[in-house]
Amino acid sequence: MADLRLSFLDFEMENPWCLASAPPTATGELMASAFDKGWAAAIMKTVGPVEEPIINVAPRIHTMKKWNREIAMQNIELITDRRLSVWLDELKILRKRYPKKMIIGSIMAPGHDMDAWAKLVEEMNKTKVNAIELNLGCPHGMPERDMGAVCSQDPLIISKIVKTAKSVSKVPIMTKLTPNVTNIKMMATAAKNAGSDAITVINTVNGIIGIDIYKKEPHLSVNGYTAIGGVSGNGMKPIGLKCVAECKQATDLPISGCGGISSWSEGVEYLLMGAGQLQVCTEVMIRGFKIIDGMNKGLEKYMAEMGITKASDLVGDLYKRVTSFETLLKKSSSEKVQVNEETCTGCNICVVACDDSGYDALKLKSLPDSNRTGGTRKVAEVIYDSCTGCNLCVAVCPVPNCMSLYDSKLPFPYELADNYTGNTLV
Ligand SMILES: Cc1cc2nc3c(=O)[nH]c(=O)nc-3n(C[C@H](O)[C@H](O)[C@H](O)COP(=O)(O)O)c2cc1C
């Protein structure tokens, strides 16, 4: 039986999954419902200083779909519009009801107002949350008021805020950074040097989700106008993984990984990269708290297949293998593609991609079809001298185990993939 427990900031979570600060954690009641359904941790929707009124616009959410499946979401929602005093009461109740769940506070104040930051941390102290996340990442609305992303786009401001929070807080501080910077390592380092106990990456990515070409206006349109919003969801995973790698490289702090996790396997990717906790927002907004069942089951099945008994063993150090291009040049071998003629369907997708991307290293050829006497079938054939091993054909091939790269400099006869029936290579 797989042990899904994972220790993050000295708290033993029953599984790696944490609800990110967002609409699914908009009230204590919602957080309770998520805990009841199996989520191990939840971060309250960010609360700001009482003096800062929060007024949302409508509409404020839109998605981008491919094949009827959401691949990204843009929002222009602000932080919670509920009173701090209401939140404090709810957090205290949650604490009593759920001693085994990791309850995380989330706060935001202006980058110039350290008193406001200190006050919010003091209030959070009273609730006995397990950690406090400093939301330095909201990219819309709040930056106009010197809050959110502007605070993690300047290492000096990060430093001031984290130092202030650390000087008051009774629990670990997680610093949530924006990915909308040129050099996130610099920002993570500032957080570490100021005493942050962990880093959360990522908050949403600046973007505009799309245009309604018939109405000739943005999809996320407030009476014809839009604002640059925060893009989240599955398509953001590569940016999240990159930020986990860079923050881990720069600081070696525990990382709460967030951004585009829509399934158990993407969570595993984050863990292997080096994250120690997994936050999910958009996928829950689309499909609900119950996705936790499939996430846990998938994780258990994967662990059984891989012979891993403890989820904590999945936390890896692939961030150490994210290296410079120069290092890759030294490690690169002489790759060529090979086609498995047993599985190739002759669909021609790889040939078109290769031709029209200028590599010209594939064509179709006819083979006798063992299913039809006298008949033939088409399969892809590699033009050996033209193949540069770019991997485009492997990436676009729709058939599993059909195309793969091999090191053509290995001594011949090279042991080719199973079922390979093809041509002589020299
Ligand atoms: C509608 C919406 C509201 C959000 N509100 C907050 C917030 O109040 N505080 C915060 O730290 N992050 C907020 N986020 C960002 C998420 O916590 C998370 O960092 C981001 O969505 C990336 O994760 P995902 O791809 O799993 O959605 C919000 C995201 C969305 C989509």
Position 79 confidence tier, pLDDT thresholds 50, 70, 90: very high
Considering the domain architecture, whether residues 129 and 162 belong to the same structural domain is answered as: yes
- Output the pLDDT for position 422: 47
Considering the domain architecture, whether residues 153 and 13 belong to the same structural domain is answered as: yes
Per DSSP, the three-state class of 234 is helix
In this predicted model, what pLDDT tens digit does every residue of 10-30 receive, in sequence order? 999 999 999 999 999 999 999
- In which element (H, E) is residue 404 found? strand 403-407
Considering the domain architecture, whether residues 312 and 355 belong to the same structural domain is answered as: no
Domain at 274, CATH number: 3.20.20.70
Six-digit token string for 261: 């996790």
Looking at 288, 321, 354, the residue that finishes a domain is: 321
Give the number of the atom of ligand 1 that is nearest the alpha carbon of residue 137: 11
Domain at 361, CATH number: 3.30.70.20
- Output the pLDDT for position 416: 54
pTM of the full structure: 0.94
Considering the domain architecture, whether residues 280 and 181 belong to the same structural domain is answered as: yes
The CA-based angle 40-120-180, given to 5 degrees, is: 70
Looking at 321, 341, 357, the residue that finishes a domain is: 321
Position 412 confidence tier, pLDDT thresholds 50, 70, 90: low
Say if ligand 1 is within 6 A of residue 175 CB: no
Those residues whose C-beta lies under 8 Å from the C-beta of residue 289, and which sit 6 or more positions away, are: 24, 33, 34, 37, 39
Pocket test for ligand 1, best of 21, 56, 243 (most atoms within 8 A of CB): 21
Cα of 170 to ligand 1 centre, how many Å? 25
CA distance 416 to 404: 10
At 156, the amino acid letter reads L
- Output the pLDDT for position 415: 52
In this predicted model, what pLDDT tens digit does every residue of 269-309 receive, in sequence order? 999 999 999 999 999 999 999 999 999 999 999 999 999 99
> Is residue 194 in a domain?
yes
> Is residue 252 in a domain?
yes
> Is residue 88 in a domain?
yes
Q: Report the domain count for the chain.
A: 2
- In which element (H, E) is residue 46 found? none
Considering the domain architecture, whether residues 381 and 307 belong to the same structural domain is answered as: no
Cα of 295 to ligand 1 centre, how many Å? 19
> Is residue 425 in a domain?
no
Considering the domain architecture, whether residues 167 and 73 belong to the same structural domain is answered as: yes
CA distance from start to end of the chain: 50
Is the model's pLDDT at 410 over the cut of 80?
no
Say if ligand 1 is within 6 A of residue 23 CB: yes
> Is residue 313 in a domain?
yes
Those residues whose C-beta lies under 8 Å from the C-beta of residue 420, and which sit 6 or more positions away, are: 338, 340, 341
Domain with 368, as residue range(s), is 333-407
Considering the domain architecture, whether residues 147 and 292 belong to the same structural domain is answered as: yes
Cα of 90 to ligand 1 centre, how many Å? 21
Considering the domain architecture, whether residues 51 and 128 belong to the same structural domain is answered as: yes
> Is residue 426 in a domain?
no
